[in-house]
Amino acid sequence: MKVAIKFGSLDVTPDGEVAGFEAGDTLVRRLLRFFPTAQLIAAQPQSYPEVEVVSLETLDAANTVVVNMDVADSVEVWHHLRAQVEHPQIMNFIWWDSTRFDHPIETAELALSCALFPTFANSDRTARAVAASVRRWMVPQLAERARISGVNLGIRWERLQPRQEPEVPVVLYPAIYVSERKQPEIFVEIVTKVAKRTPILVEARLAEAHLVSDVAMKLSHERWAKVGPLASRDDYWVALAGTTAFVATAREESYGLEYLEAMCAGAIGIFPDREWVHALLPANYPFIYRNVTKAASLLHRAVTETAACRSELDAIADGDFLAWLRTHHSDDSFETAITEHITSWFGEIDA
């Protein structure tokens, strides 16, 4: 059995590389690393030296599992493939927060897709949320047959760069969007309080469409802030190696990959007291806030007493916070889990 990956925002360069720096693009590249013979699905078929792009019409449906990252349209994909084969093989891959759909029709549509097709999520927490949604929205005959699992995406530890402590502490805006769910206004409020007390450099690297947002423009006018476009992945990892701290302000996250990458690179994370945060971190994590004043106080400590804060993190993780992260957020675990589930659900995958 072969694997084909469907992602609606797919952008392939003329030399066959998956372009883009957003989460979906990164995950497509990761899946291609796990399944090197996998095809990509797009409107127009195209052959490249390293990857083949096929359409739903040209896909060998009898011998291929479609890993669908556009989960809501899996029923439509099934109808396309049903014209070729009696039993199309489709697996949903949920890589975003399952609460992103707030309209009842969208929520029910997602639940139906996950009830009908095996579903793998980017974290155990997301898998549980999807399963709960299926139980709530689907009749028992469908809910009881649902196959839903997931595991934490994990970190590619080999991408980490040697630590470079900056002369002026660097505070990262830990997202590429300034969407309402991320609550960027709260981030700006927190860092503004700290910037009035001690020298810091706030860095925000944003998707192009978000560079001209009101909050990005406001932040860019501050002398202690640097707002710019997304860098290459290599430059991203180099920048993380020189990041002192970050402040998370999102209401909800499906996982929290960028936060973990920053912490693995040595940055101190300041987090809101939310369920998704506690699913990500060890018990008794010390840098959690319930209001802006507390967040500013914690950030001030992180940028003025950095070594002491890192020692605190080690103390709550049996002496080595980075080792705890490596154990609980392993890229290898994700590769093993998704491979085992595809094999269990559909049969052996071609190497």
Residue spans per domain, the chain: 2-154+331-346, 157-328
Structure token digits, residue 130: 């999807």
Looking up tokens 């996250």 gives 253
**Beta bridge partner(s), residue 330:** 155
Find, among 134, 158, 163, the residue nearest to 147 by Cα: 134
282/284 Cα distance (integer angstroms): 6
| pLDDT score for 102 | 77
Distances (CA, A) of 175 to 60, 205, 230, 250, 261: 38, 8, 10, 9, 12
| pLDDT score for 198 | 98
pLDDT band at 165 (very low <50, low <70, confident <90, very high): very high
C-alpha triplet 183, 186, 263: angle, nearest 5°? 80
Q: Is the pLDDT of residue 197 over 80?
A: yes
Q: What is the CB neighbour count within 10 angstroms for residue 306?
A: 17
| pLDDT score for 50 | 84
10/22 Cα distance (integer angstroms): 11
247/271 Cα distance (integer angstroms): 6
Q: What percent of the chain has a predicted confidence (pLDDT) above 70?
A: 99
Least confident span in 10-14, 272-276, 286-290? 10-14
Angle between helix axes 104-116 and 124-137 (nearest 10 degrees) is: 100
**Beta bridge partner(s), residue 40:** 5, 53
More confident residue, 257 or 194: 194
312/334 Cα distance (integer angstroms): 29
Provide DSSP, 186-245: HHHHHHHHHHTTS--EEEEEE-GGGTTSHHHHHHHTSTTEEEEE---HHHHHHHHTT--E
Looking up tokens 């997304």 gives 230
Which pairing describes strands 52-54 and 46-47: parallel, antiparallel, or unpaired?
A: antiparallel
Q: Is the pLDDT of residue 37 over 90?
A: yes
Mean pLDDT for the chain?
Answer: 94
**Mean pLDDT over residues 121-141, rounded?**
94
Find, among 241, 296, 250, the residue nearest to 272 by Cα: 250
**Beta bridge partner(s), residue 90:** 66
| pLDDT score for 351 | 61
- According to CATH, the topology of domain 157-328 is Rossmann fold (3.40.50)
Q: Is the pLDDT of residue 308 over 80?
A: yes
**Mean pLDDT over residues 147-160, rounded?**
91
Q: What is the pLDDT of residues 245-281, one digit of tens each?
A: 999 999 999 899 999 999 999 999 999 999 999 999 9
Task: Number of helices (H) and strands (E) in the chain: give both, helices first.
Answer: 14, 14
Find, among 88, 70, 82, 95, the residue nearest to 7 by Cα: 70
326/56 Cα distance (integer angstroms): 38
Which DSSP category does 291 fall into? Answer: S
**Mean pLDDT over residues 227-247, rounded?**
93
146/214 Cα distance (integer angstroms): 43
162/140 Cα distance (integer angstroms): 53
pLDDT band at 230 (very low <50, low <70, confident <90, very high): confident
340/308 Cα distance (integer angstroms): 42
By the 10 Å C-beta count (0-12 exposed, 13-18 middle, 19+ buried), 133 is classed as: buried
219/214 Cα distance (integer angstroms): 9
66/349 Cα distance (integer angstroms): 12
Structure token digits, residue 122: 């980017």
Residue type for 84, please? Q
**Mean pLDDT over residues 101-116, rounded?**
92
Q: Is the pLDDT of residue 110 over 90?
A: yes
306/302 Cα distance (integer angstroms): 5
